[in-house]
Structure 1
Amino acid sequence: MLHLIIVTVQEIRNPLKDKFRNKDVALGVAVTIPCPEVAEALAHIGFDWLFIDMEHAPLELTDVKLILQAVAGTNTVPVVRVPWNDFVIIKRVLDLGVFNIIVPWINSRKEAEEAVKACKYPPEGIRGCGPLRASLYGLKTKEYLEKANFEVAVIVQIETAKAVQNINEILSVKGVDATFVGPMDLSVSLGYLGNPQHPEVKAAIEKIAEAHENTKVCPGIASSIEQLKEHLELGYRFINIGSDIGLIRGGARKLLQSAKNILKESAFS
């Protein structure tokens, strides 16, 4: 009896960058817990992207690799925020097979250029060549090397008063595909610690959005379900709307309160 074994090899392609090009809205959720099962469960819900946070969360390279493996069978696209604009860190994350990199604390044209160079192979950048997992362990090395510079999305984070001041220069950098506004850090930088709803912070967020209008750069922001409509109306399209911790906390709080309400209404109170 003849048995056919069909091996499928995933395509070297970045669906999120397609959304940027098409000006589609992409909704994401943050992953901060070093647990692949949590990321996998969120990915199966149907979010467009997962915000895997190496900057503020206790996630190391091994954690990122396990999360990537966990969500590989879903349509949710992983996006990794690296801890700093460092070409070595960025190279190692890209070599894991990540196609979307958020680089924090970009304040100038020069820093944006450095982020782009870190994500691109020569002659466009300085990325070292050793894409083991990214090339499917050698199954698609040639295709990966040919497509990586085009498919990898460089997302620069705008989170300071200086970045707002230099927003037009930052957006003019070739290779910047999207921005990502951090309202909390922006509030700190503008002198309104922990108050992203302050009128001056909101004015800065609006100014950032307006600066994108005549560019091909996709505007992104860390938002919430309460602010989503407002941010959509400003033109933001790459939007994080929650986090694993927030969903666990909110769900647990609601569950406990519901149980307490039942206790009050029952003979067991």
Structure 2
Amino acid sequence: MDLPENRFKRDLRAGRQQIGLWCSLPSAYAAEAVAGSGFDWLLLDTEHSPGDPLTVLPQLQAVAPYPVAPVVRPVSNDAVLIKRFLDLGAQTLLIPYVQDADEARAAVAATRYPPEGIRGVSSLTRATRFGRVQGYAKRAADEICLLVQVETRAALDRLEEIAGVEGVDGVFVGPGDLAASLGHAGEMGHPEVVAAVEEAITRTRAAGKPAGVLTPDPAFARRCIELGTTFTAVALDIGVLARGTEAVARQFVRS
């Protein structure tokens, strides 16, 4: 049995735009419902959701038959959590709150087996198809895509250093935490925040790495794509559910 190809990584390297949906609902049923909606990738979140490895596993299984790439966000840049998600078969990870090149290098090391890294070895995991993928340990890194989040003023100051770390496949700008770091918590549309996001995208591209962002604002999403993002999340499942049901209720329920 061959090692599955990470098409998301290939498309990112080729510069093909990847449109994504943020999945905060820790449900395999919900993940499968949106897996066929036409997005290129789904972010399975465990940082700002109740999700964990035991909810991500059935989500990965549920979306596997669909032509969409699952991206998993651990709750932190933690080698143990990263190991667990990789063993579950996740091939693309988005690591939050990476502040400098050393933290980026630590994330890379967590995805590599020794001697290049510190990932623990087990030959009987879902990632190895339970021992059926020949040479998995030697080839796994070829199909692992590591994305890091830059989401504070301090991280922006070191963006080129972070982007330049070997093994970092893309840099994601987190507007929510960045807004808070700049003194504008909850104000993603503040001019200073917008300017910082736009500058980060431009600098990431100039550094030779793919840039990503999350914004449910269609106009700003298009602006980010124009500036050069190649993995762009344009909605959140929980937001679609909450705002969509509110819109239906307004048609029939008296205030």
Distance in 1 (alpha carbons) for counterparts of 2:155 and 2:138: 33
TM-score by length of 2: 0.94
Note the alpha carbon deviations across 1:173-203, whole angstroms, 9 max, x for none. 0000011111010000011111111122122
Q: Secondary structure at the match of 2:229?
A: coil
Note the alpha carbon deviations across 1:75-109, whole angstroms, 9 max, x for none. 11110110111101100010000001111110101
Identity over aligned residues, as a percent? 38
Equivalent residues, number: 252
User: Which of 189, 210, 214 in structure 2 is aligned with 1:222?
Assistant: 214
Distance in 2 (alpha carbons) for counterparts of 1:209 and 1:172: 14
Is 1:244 equivalent to 2:227 in the alignment?
A: no
Q: Label 1:32 to 1:10 Cα distance change in 2 as closer, same or farther (>3 A).
A: farther
Note the alpha carbon deviations across 1:187-222, whole angstroms, 9 max, x for none. 000111111111221221122112123344110011
CA radius of gyration, larger in: 1
Letter in 2 for 1:160: T
TM-score by length of 1: 0.89
Distance in 2 (alpha carbons) for counterparts of 1:10 and 1:220: 30
Cα RMSD, aligned residues only: 1.5
Q: Which residue pairs with 2:101 in the alignment? A: 109
Q: Secondary structure at the match of 2:47?
A: coil
Q: Secondary structure at the match of 1:27?
A: strand
Q: Label 1:19 to 1:180 Cα distance change in 2 as closer, same or farther (>3 A).
A: same
User: Which of 180, 193, 205 in structure 2 is aligned with 1:188?
Assistant: 180
Q: Label 1:242 to 1:171 Cα distance change in 2 as closer, same or farther (>3 A).
A: same
Q: Secondary structure at the match of 2:13?
A: helix
Note the alpha carbon deviations across 1:42-94, whole angstroms, 9 max, x for none. 00112111111111100011100010111111011110110111101100010
Q: Which residue pairs with 1:210 in the alignment? A: 202
Letter in 2 for 1:232: I
**Tell me, which stretches of 5 or more residues in structure 2 are unaligned?**
none
**Tell me, which stretches of 5 or more residues in structure 1 are unaligned?**
1-8, 264-269
User: Which of 91, 105, 110 in structure 2 is aligned with 1:118?
Assistant: 110
